[in-house]
Structures are given as structure tokens and as C-alpha cells.
Structure 1
Amino acid sequence: MLEIIDLVKKYDSGPLALDGVNLKIEAGDIIALIGPSGAGKSTLVRCINRLVEPTSGKIMLNGVDISSLNKKELREARKNIGMIFQEYALVERLSVMENVLSGRLASVSFWQSLRRNFPQKYISEALSLLDRVGLGDYVDTRADQLSGGQRQRVGIARALLQKPDLLLLDEPTASLDPKTARQIMRLVVDLVQEKNISAIINIHEVKLAELFTKRIVGLREGRIVYDEEAAKLDTDALTLIYGEEDWESERPAEDESE
């Protein structure tokens, strides 16, 4: 379980990026973070694994306060937190398999990682995940030869190879076309449910959040202003999160025949 308590992030200049955020996520929950640009969504996701250092507050994962750990303890805790980035964060010159196996670097010795000498168990698990994400035929393909959707699938496989308790996704569909974005969201939700792990998805596309998650959390100016079932998101809620707009004209009926 993840519990965020009174989380604050203040950068050197500008207003508070996070202003007393409180959030609880049970095992197996999948939530979407939505809100305007600058609302604090990416900051919140990155504070959870301390890619961004919080100013104050607590981040409790399975009873451990992530925000209070030293560097060695944090490296150990991060084994339980998978991360999928908008920009993929792959090593372009390495193969698909090598990129996926990098998800296990923290679990092997320095010399094993230097020589890319991974146990057969990890290799077998990586092959299974690549088959699951539809990239079984791309094991030896260099990352720089892949499309955006394929790169994101590599990132998903890499994160899941860690066998995390929590999966963080920071705008995973922002660089993808609409069809590929839907495919990636469907894949993520299916895999998270199969493996019974929790996931937080920072996403700009409100329709994708409604379609693929059961709970939506809205941020505005660093504060949570909405936390409800996705089915309850209406024009009043959108106004609360984003401000005044003619939301009905912006929300055409979804064509489910695709």
C-alpha cells in the first residue's frame, strides 16, 4: 500500500509545486492523475521514488517512509518501484533485450552488470515479458530502430521485470498517436491487473483516463481537488480541475467500434 501524507515540494523559485498532498492507494489500485500543465502531476510521481526530492511530508510504501531513506536504503526501496517515462529512457545503441534486462541491474553484482552477465532466470523472464508486450521478435533489435509505441512497450517490459509493488507512469502516451496510445494504456492496465500491483498514471488525455482507469485524481495548483471513481467525472469536476470551459462540446461520444 502507498500512503502520501502532507507532501510538499517547493522549488527554489516559483510557487509550491505540491501543497500538502494526501493520497492513499491500496494494492492493486490503478489511478489516473489529471490536471492542467503545472498542476504538480509529474512532480508528485517523481517525488514518490525521489527522482525529485520532497520538501516535507511522508511517502509510505508498505510501511516504509521513502522520503526518509538514505542513498543505500533508497536504492533498495526502488527495487519495488517501477517507472515508465514519456521519453522512454532507453539506451539507444543497446538491443531490446539489453534494455529490458537493465530493469534488473539493481539485483546483480557490479561485475555482472558491467559484463551484462544476467542469470538465466532473468533472461527467461525478460523473454516472457517481451512476448507479452508483443515484441518477441525484436529481442536483438537496437532500440533506435523501434517506433515510439514499440519503445514504450520495451519500457513497460523493463519496469515489470523488476517485479515492483508500485508502477509509476509519467505521461506514457504523450508522444504517441491516438491508436497507439489506447493500445499502450490497455496493455498497461491488463498487465498491472494480471500481476496485482498498484499503478499511478500521470496522463493529459482525460478520455484515456476515463476509459482505462477506475479512479481519477485531479490536481490543480499543487493540491488534490478531485478524487473519485472515473465514472463520476463530469463537467462540474472538469471545471473544478481545469477551470471554466464548454466541456460538453469538448467531449464527443467515444466510438468503441475501433
Structure 2
Amino acid sequence: MLTVEALTKTYKTGDKALRSVSFTVPKGQVVGLIGPSGAGKSTLIRCINRLVEPSEGRVLLNDLDITGLPAGGLRRARRQIGMIFQEYALVERLSVMENVLSGRLGYVGFWRSFLRRFPGEDVENAFRLLDRVGLIDHADKRADALSGGQRQRVGIARALAQDPELLLIDEPTASLDPKTSRQIMRLIVEICAERGLPAIINIHDVVLAQQFTQRIIGLQAGQIVFDGTPDLLDEGVLTRIYGEEDWTAMRRAAEEDDHAERDAAERMAGMV
């Protein structure tokens, strides 16, 4: 379980990116983190694993106080926190398999990692993960030969190779088309359910968040202004978070895309 207690981030300029943010995420729950640009979403994600140092407050992962750890302890703790990035953060000249195995760098010695000599069980697990994300036939391809959706699947497999206790996911669909975005969100949610993994997804697409996450936290100016189930996220709440927008039209367009995708899948299944 992840527990965030009164987390605050104040920059040297005096600007507050986070203002006493508190919440818990139990095992297996997928949380969508929404809000306008500058609301503090990415800062919150990065404060949890201390890529950004919080000014005040605590972050506890299964009772381990992440915020209180020295450098060595933080490196070990980060093994338990899988991070999936918007821009994939792959080493493009390396193969898909090598990128997945890079998720094990925190567990192997320097020379093994330098020479890319990973234990056999790590390699076997990487193959299983590539099969799970639908890329088993691409294991030997260079990362720069993949599509955006395939690169994001590699990022998911790499994060899972850490055998994490928590997933932090920063804008996983921002660079993807609508169909691929739904596929990636569906894959993340299914994997979290299979493994009992808690996850926080920083996502700009409100409709996707409502379709796929179990809980939504809305940030505005560094503060939580909504925390509840997707069905409670009505037009009034969304307007409080983002301002005026035609939310009904946005939902209708997303539903039409979803129905079209399902119809196409059913037609393909009927042709097999």
C-alpha cells in the first residue's frame, strides 16, 4: 500500500507545486491523476519516488518511509517502484530485450550490467513479460524500429522486470492515437489486477481515466479538489478542476471510438 501524508513541494522562488497532499492507494488499485497543466501532477509522481525532493510530508510504501531514506536506501527502495514514462525513455540503439532487462540493473552488479550478462532467470522472465505485452516476436528488434504503442509496451515490460510493489505512470497515452491509447490503458489495468499492483497514472485524457481507472484524484493548483470513483466525476466537478468545457461531447466522441473498435474486433473474429 502507498500512503502519502501532507506532501508539499515549495520551490526556491516560493511557488508551491504541492500543498499538503494526502491519500492512500491500496494493493491492486489503479488511480487516475487528473488536472490542468501546472496543477502538480508530474511533481506529485516524481516526489513519490524522490526524483523531485519534497519539501514537507511523508511517502510510505508498505510502511517504508521513502522520504526519510539516505541515498543507498533510496536506491534499494526504487527497485520497488516501477516508472513508466510518456516519452518511453528507452535506449533506442539497444534491442527490445536489452531494454526490458535494463529493469534489472538495480539487482545485478556493475560488471554484469556493463557486459549485459544477466542471470538466466532474468532473461526467462523478460521473455514472459514480452509475451504478456504482445511483443515476443520483437525481442531482437532495435527499440527505434518500433511504433509508439510498441515502445510503450516495452516500457511497461521494463517496469515489471523490476518486480515492483508500485507503478508510477506519467502520461502513458499522450503521444498515442486514440485506439492505441485504449489498448495501452487496458493492458496496464489488466496487469495491475493480475499482480495486485497499486498504480498512479498521471493522465491528461479525462475520458480515458473514467473508462479505465477505479479511482480518480483531481488536482488544482497543487491541492486535491476531488477524490472518488469515476462515476462521481460529473460536469460540475470537471468544471471546478479545469474550467468550462463541453464534457458531454467529449464523452460521446470517446464512446463512439470505443464502439467502433469493438465492432471492428468482432468483425475480424467472425472472419477467422
Give the TM-score category using the shorter length.
over 0.9
Residue of structure 2 in register with 1:69 after alignment: 69
Residue of structure 2 in register with 1:32 after alignment: 32
Q: Helix, strand or coil for the counterpart of 2:158? A: helix
2:141, 2:176 → 1: CA distance?
20
2:244, 2:151 → 1: CA distance?
37
Q: Helix, strand or coil for the counterpart of 1:42? A: helix
Residue of structure 1 in register with 2:41 after alignment: 41
Residue of structure 1 in register with 2:270 after alignment: none
The alignment covers a number of residue pairs equal to: 258
Residue of structure 1 in register with 2:268 after alignment: none
Residue of structure 2 in register with 1:104 after alignment: 104
2:122, 2:244 → 1: CA distance?
50
2:7, 2:13 → 1: CA distance?
18
Query: Deviation string for 1:134-164 (max 9, x for gaps)?
Result: 1101111011111111100000000001111
Paired residue type of 1:146: L
| Residue pairs, 1:151-170, within 5 angstroms | 151-170=151-170
Q: Helix, strand or coil for the counterpart of 1:252? A: helix
- Is residue 83–residue 159 contact of structure 1 (8 Å, CA) maintained in 2? yes
1:111 to partner: Cα distance: 1.1
Residue of structure 1 in register with 2:59 after alignment: 59
Q: Helix, strand or coil for the counterpart of 2:79? A: helix
Structure 1: tracts of 5 or more residues without a match: none
Paired residue type of 2:93: R
1:77 to partner: Cα distance: 0.4
Q: Helix, strand or coil for the counterpart of 2:252? A: coil
Residue of structure 2 in register with 1:224 after alignment: 224
1:242, 1:61 → 2: CA distance?
30
2:173, 2:134 → 1: CA distance?
17
| Residue pairs, 1:105-254, within 5 angstroms | 105-252=105-252, 254=255
1:177 to partner: Cα distance: 0.7
1:198, 1:179 → 2: CA distance?
24
2:80, 2:111 → 1: CA distance?
22
| CA distance 1:140–1:24, change in 2 (3 Å) | same
Paired residue type of 1:105: L
- Is residue 214–residue 231 contact of structure 1 (8 Å, CA) maintained in 2? no
1:250 to partner: Cα distance: 3.9
Structure 2: tracts of 5 or more residues without a match: 262-272
TM norm structure 2: 0.92
- Is residue 84–residue 172 contact of structure 2 (8 Å, CA) maintained in 1? yes
Query: Deviation string for 1:21-61 (max 9, x for gaps)?
Result: 00111111110000000000000001110111111110011
Q: Helix, strand or coil for the counterpart of 2:208? A: helix
Q: Helix, strand or coil for the counterpart of 2:105? A: helix
| CA distance 1:213–1:117, change in 2 (3 Å) | same
Q: Cα RMSD over matched residues?
A: 1.1
1:245, 1:192 → 2: CA distance?
32
1:225, 1:244 → 2: CA distance?
16
